[in-house]
Amino acid sequence: MVSGHTLVAGGALLGAARAARAGQCDLPDTQPHWIDYAEGSVAFRQSVFARPGVIAASSGTIVSPALRAGGARTIYWEMKLGRYVGTTASPADPTTIEPVAAQLFNRAVAASGCATPLIAINELNGPSTTTPWTVNNAQYRANVFGLVKSLQARGARPFLLVPGSIYTGGEAAAWWQQVAGVADLVRQVYLNARTLSALGPLRAGRTIRTAFRSAISDLTAIGIPPARIGLMIGFMSEQGYGGREGLQPASAWFDMVKIETLSARQVAVELPISTLWNWGWGTFTAAGNDPDKPTAACVALWARDQSLCDAPGQAGPGFDADLQDGQIQLAAGSECVLGADTITTADIDALARLTGDRDVAATALLERLVERRSAGEVAESDVLDAERAIILTRFRGVRRLYEEALGRAAIGLEQARAILADVLRRARVQATLPVPEPTAATIADFYAANADISVRLVEASPAASWLGGRTRGLALSSIAPLRVFQFATGVVEGMRTTAGRFSVRAIGQAVPLGSLSLGVATPAIRDALMAYARADALEAWNAARQPAALDVATCLRDDLPPVGSVDLTLYVPYLRLN
């Protein structure tokens, strides 16, 4: 949790960021700004990026004016931060920072044609370095801050590019906050398109957005507002850096460029951040000389604005032009869609009033969905029958007392009936799960360790699972319904359990398990061990099936229900049917 002081500082930064971006260098006020790397190393820059609606990052007084002549807006790109501030091992003399900042600012003004230029600075050295910093590293960080502060003081808007993972603990947090006060921080998030493509559109989109959110939250967690944060996406062709990574055919790469662009836009709107950057169009090595790059760049433009480029025409028939591909598209009120099933926000919120935790509620609803797919719906008559049994046996037959108890638990009749259906359905699923027979040694161990638990000789009609599928036997208190031990001897009583409705007659009084010989007690112990094993098997069954259900899930903010097992009767014990 950030301190109140940090939050106030963050609010001040946000206000400054809004003021700084309003119409600067004739850029549109709409957010986020999309910025494409388009220096001289991008051979196709003029044919793809020199057009209205594009913001291109470049340097020099030849490339930038040519891009603007085609209709693009430009910002300044500085490729080598180190030439101004040194490195973490060999920082520059701090007295040189102000003069070199003036030089950089003047070059940016000349190249961009703007008196208050936007300047991208590539890239921070050692962002993951932990504290305490060495003397050299501390000086390097001070130099970086001094450079961007000086640029901002001259009227520029600096963007510091930040590669890889970052460290924000200790004194580092204060440094990041200082820098964000005078510059934007652009996280470079380069993902492997070949790996993403293998996931399919839905999971790929989710993976991309999760990575982007994580990069942003590294900074927002220490109080830096989203308006001071940008994301840079990598579309490189060299292997080992993220980007294409050898993905074939070209249409598969184009699909990933589209999904990554759409996913970045969705995250930028959701949080919201101010800038999105595309890197990778340049050719610096033979491995980066990819003839498919111009089309990939066209796809990236088209995915964010279909008027910018004709991607379907250029990419060819193998390209999927679906702009909903892999994106979050949910009807109002839906929290998650899993194939034909929906978990609503109202469902989660209502159940969270019982559990006290939205994640627990979401897991319970996921579990319900998976079990319902296997065992189907529970008949309403069975649920109402179970409800009547509970009111009769636990609330003296007074419905008002039952409803008052539900009110105290913050649930209504509908939710209570859904929980009863869960109980009945779970028993139905559990009964189908095969489990191994307990060994003689296991039975003997149980007998020795549980000598004090109660057993009672009873008859049941029909045959009961808690009697091992028999009509007569020893009922063990650890698995048999509690009421079995409350009945008068010799009287036939009716009762409702998760396994159904039974008529039960107690033949003898309850006695401790240890008062019986192991041979006599063995059938009851076997029944108990089998019941425990089936309960464990049900958890394993759910653990295996819930991830498969989530594979096709689309959820708000990609916030998937956690996989797990939730017994809602722990919160309302009187809804147990045993």
Distance CA 534, CA 548 (A): 21
Identify whether the C-beta of residue 32 lies closer than 8 Å to the C-beta of residue 274: yes
Distance CA 216, CA 31 (A): 16
Distance CA 281, CA 58 (A): 12
Identify whether the C-beta of residue 176 lies closer than 8 Å to the C-beta of residue 137: no
Q: Could you count the other beta carbons within 10 Å of the beta carbon of residue 53?
A: 16
Can you give the pLDDT at residue 546? Answer: 96
Residues 6+ apart with CB under 8 A from 430: 534, 535, 537, 538
| Vertex 78 angle, CA 14 and 181, to 5° | 20
Identify whether the C-beta of residue 479 lies closer than 8 Å to the C-beta of residue 465: no
Distance CA 181, CA 193 (A): 34
291-318 per-position pLDDT tens digit = 999 999 999 999 999 999 999 999 999 9
* CA 243 to each of CA 100, 239, 444, 507, 571: distance values in angstroms, whole numbers, following the listed order: 33, 8, 61, 75, 49
Any idea what DSSP says for residue 332? T
Hey, is 461 helix, strand or coil?
A: strand
Identify whether the C-beta of residue 467 lies closer than 8 Å to the C-beta of residue 528: no
Distance CA 52, CA 179 (A): 32
Identify whether the C-beta of residue 222 lies closer than 8 Å to the C-beta of residue 177: yes
With a cut of 70, list the residues of the chain below it in pLDDT. Answer: 1-23, 498-499
Burial of 314 (0-12, 13-18, 19+ CB in 10 A): middle
The sheet with strand 341-344 has its strands ordered as 341-344, 334-338, 553-555
Residues 6+ apart with CB under 8 A from 326: 201, 202, 204, 205, 206, 259, 262, 263
* CA 415 to each of CA 328, 411, 419, 421: distance values in angstroms, whole numbers, following the listed order: 28, 6, 6, 10
Distance CA 131, CA 133 (A): 5
329-385 per-position pLDDT tens digit = 999 999 999 999 999 999 999 999 999 999 999 999 999 999 999 999 999 999 998
Can you give the pLDDT at residue 371? Answer: 96
Any idea what DSSP says for residue 292? T
* CA 161 to each of CA 8, 17, 179: distance values in angstroms, whole numbers, following the listed order: 25, 17, 12
Can you give the pLDDT at residue 394? Answer: 87
Burial of 58 (0-12, 13-18, 19+ CB in 10 A): buried
Can you give the pLDDT at residue 7? Answer: 28
Identify whether the C-beta of residue 552 lies closer than 8 Å to the C-beta of residue 339: yes
Any idea what DSSP says for residue 304? H
Any idea what DSSP says for residue 49? T
| Vertex 22 angle, CA 21 and 25, to 5° | 75
> What DSSP assignment string belongs to 416-444?
HHHHHHHHHHHHHHHTT---PPPPHHHHH
The b-or-e profile of 354-384 (16+ CB within 10 A means b, else e) is: bbeebebbbbbbbbbbbbbeebeebeeebbe
| Vertex 454 angle, CA 449 and 460, to 5° | 125
Which residue ranges make up each domain of the chain? Answer: 4-315, 334-434+539-575, 449-518
Is pTM beyond 0.95 here?
A: no
Can you give the pLDDT at residue 504? Answer: 92
Given CATH 3.30.230.10, say whether it is the number of domain 4-315: no
Can you give the pLDDT at residue 10? Answer: 36
Closest C-alpha among 430, 327, 421, 431 to residue 365: 421
